[in-house]
Amino acid sequence: MRFKLIVLTLFFVLSDAAFAQQSVVIQTNSRDEVIHLIDTNTREIVGQIDGIPVNHGAAAAPDGSELYFSSEAKFTLDVVNSATLEIEAEIGLSGRPNNISIGRDGRYVYVGIMQEPGGIDVIDTRSRENTYHIDTGSRVHNTYVTPDGLYVVAGTFGGEGNLDVFSTDTWERAFQLYPPTTSNALDGIRPMAFNTHPDGSTKNIYVQISNIHGFAVVDFNKRIEIGRVILPDVPLEERDPPPYNAAPAHGIGVAPDGETLWVCSRWNGIVYAYSLPDMAYLGGVKVGSHPDWITFSPDSKYAYSANGASDDVSVIDIERLVEIERIKVGSAPKRNITAVLDR
């Protein structure tokens, strides 16, 4: 009897630990004040964060304890407790922000500043202060930390090189690529995705570029473009209606298992898949209107496409290459991430 009691007690301890964490898609809504949490197992909305108008970028602490969001309306980085979903701090920024990223150790959040003169604000998550500013000489649309955590990469508009790479140790520039080809204010680097070598170091950057219906492949170590892929076309009458904001392809991601690359086409309302590392075309999945961003379940079974014009999220079965569900969210959903929260 005593043995059975011990086993039973152990079972409940393990059960409590298992339910302490939850994998969710964090879905921003760019024309709204709300952010939705979608459970990656049940595909149901399981939480809502209120009070962050024109929310743009999202990031999660590595331990799942906090969430971070940039607000284009408040010019702040908001810190949210992942258990209560309440805003705990609003950190002032140097200008209107766009997308954000977080270092692998969770110490710093990198906020792209899209308002002139631009740059990257560096937020210390321990002190909750805006502690440093990286001068890019340009407006910054998206920031990313490389998979190995060694660099922060900015996609900019109007810089000497619109793909701008800085060391996370010194915050000094490592290299630049893609100088602007025109004076158009919307010309620049759009979303990016990364894959790795077997040792975890960064291998390639998959780069979306203004007015290109496709993406470039950049060898990170050689610091050169090694290829470019143009997405399939459809008849004009089958395209999603404009505007496209100079970004016919917007949203790109590598599945967690590193085996596939997924690319959103605003033009076509389709998400396209390519195998890695050989870049073989696998097919396309019709989703909601204007797919804009993409994230994945941790097990790489599902992709979640944020559809900016139809106000929903398409759930894609990766193995079968089919849309299995659409989840209604807020107004103009765009950036999304997957996070394992301590709840």
Please, what are the domains in the chain?
52-180 (2.130.10.10)
Each residue's pLDDT, cut to its tens digit, for the chain (343 residues) gives 333 333 333 333 333 444 468 999 999 999 999 999 999 999 999 999 999 999 999 999 999 999 999 999 999 999 999 999 999 999 999 999 999 999 999 999 999 999 999 999 999 999 999 999 999 999 999 999 999 999 999 999 988 899 999 999 999 999 999 987 766 666 899 999 999 999 999 999 999 999 999 999 999 999 999 999 999 999 999 999 999 999 999 999 999 999 999 999 999 999 999 999 999 999 999 999 999 999 999 999 999 999 999 999 999 999 999 999 999 999 999 999 999 997 6
Strand order in the sheet with 66-71: 55-60, 66-71, 76-81, 87-92
Q: Residue 326 in contact with residue 315, Cβ under 8 Å?
A: yes
> For residues 240 and 342, what is the distance between their CA atoms, to the nearest angstrom?
39
> For residues 55 and 98, what is the distance between their CA atoms, to the nearest angstrom?
9
One-letter amino acid at 335 equals R
> For residues 116 and 130, what is the distance between their CA atoms, to the nearest angstrom?
18
Omega before 243 within 30 of 0, i.e. cis: yes
Q: 0.75 cut: is pTM over it? A: yes
Q: Which residues pair with 122 in a beta bridge?
A: 110, 132
Q: Residue 100 in contact with residue 68, Cβ under 8 Å?
A: yes
pLDDT value at position 18?
43
> For residue 300, which phi and psi values (nearest 5 degrees)?
65, 25
